Homo-oligomer: A and B are copies of this chain.
Amino acid sequence: MKVLAVFSGGMDSATLVWKLLAEGHDVSLVSFDYGQRHRRELQSAAAVAVQLGLEHQIIDLTGLRPLLKGSALTDASVDVPHGHYESDTMKATVVPNRNAIMISIAWGMAVAENMDAVALGIHAGDHAIYPDCRPEFHKAIEVALQLGTDRLGMKLFAPFIRMTKTDIAKLGGALGVRYDLTWTCYEGGEAHCGKCGACQERQEAFRDSGVADVTEYAA
């Protein structure tokens, strides 16, 4: 199948890409620049694409930045919370409706190129904080986009939606994912901070899965 993967440059979507390739799909990648503080992830995304020799487009959505106010990921006046990934303080990292926006654009691109599916790496660890990572959202948006484009057979793959990040790391370890090329940290630095909720979750996933953590941490 021809599959367009929404690719952030992080662990989850990198594992998704390796999985799709292992399954024999014809994969291309799309990333989104929505003014995120951690734009460093886009460099990681590009590095992975080059490593794998895949087509990769970065879509400029910076026009949305002033509108998605109040999220620590896009609003410089809001601090990135340090604490556990699933805690309430991480709600500051919600960008309202981010996944629906990114999925809708990717779906339009996939339709224009006569592709068979869009894939994304949302997983069970995100369910508590991000409503747009939950199975009921996934099913509903897939149906809406099928109807909206008259492509009832087109698919929205989300193979990790009932897996934890530790499960994903385990799978990625087996697939040989180049985690050294990926980026997780929500802070804007040049190395992973090791303190933000996203970094803590990354560390936890490597530790619990038994996969070596080759990340360079600033702390």
A69 at the A/B interface (Cβ < 8 Å)? Answer: yes
Determine the residue in chain B with the shortest Cβ distance to A107: B97
Residues of B within 8 A of A136 (CB): 147
Within A101-156, the residues touching B (CB, 8 Å) are: 101, 104-105, 107-109, 111-113, 131-132, 134, 136-137, 140-141, 143-145, 147-150
State the number of copies, please. Answer: 2
Do B105 and A145 have beta carbons less than 8 Å apart? no
A61 at the A/B interface (Cβ < 8 Å)? Answer: yes
Residues of B within 8 A of A162 (CB): none
Residues of B within 8 A of A140 (CB): 140, 143-144, 147-148
Do B148 and A99 have beta carbons less than 8 Å apart? yes
What's the nearest-Cβ distance from chain B to residue A155, in Å?
Answer: 15
- Which 9 A/B pairs are nearest by Cβ-Cβ distance? A60-B63, A97-B108, A140-B144, A132-B148, A96-B111, A141-B144, A100-B104, A131-B150, A137-B147
Do B68 and A112 have beta carbons less than 8 Å apart? yes
Picked from B68, B141, B148, the residue with its CB within 8 Å of the CB of A108 is B68
Number of interface residues of A (CB under 8 A): 40
Known pairs A61-B63, A131-B148; list 10 more (Cβ under 8 Å). Answer: A61-B61, A63-B63, A70-B112, A95-B108, A96-B108, A96-B149, A97-B104, A100-B149, A104-B104, A137-B148
17 example contacts (A-B, Cβ-Cβ < 8 A) are as follows A62-B63, A64-B108, A67-B105, A68-B108, A96-B112, A97-B148, A97-B149, A99-B148, A100-B104, A100-B108, A100-B145, A100-B148, A131-B147, A131-B148, A134-B147, A137-B148, A140-B143
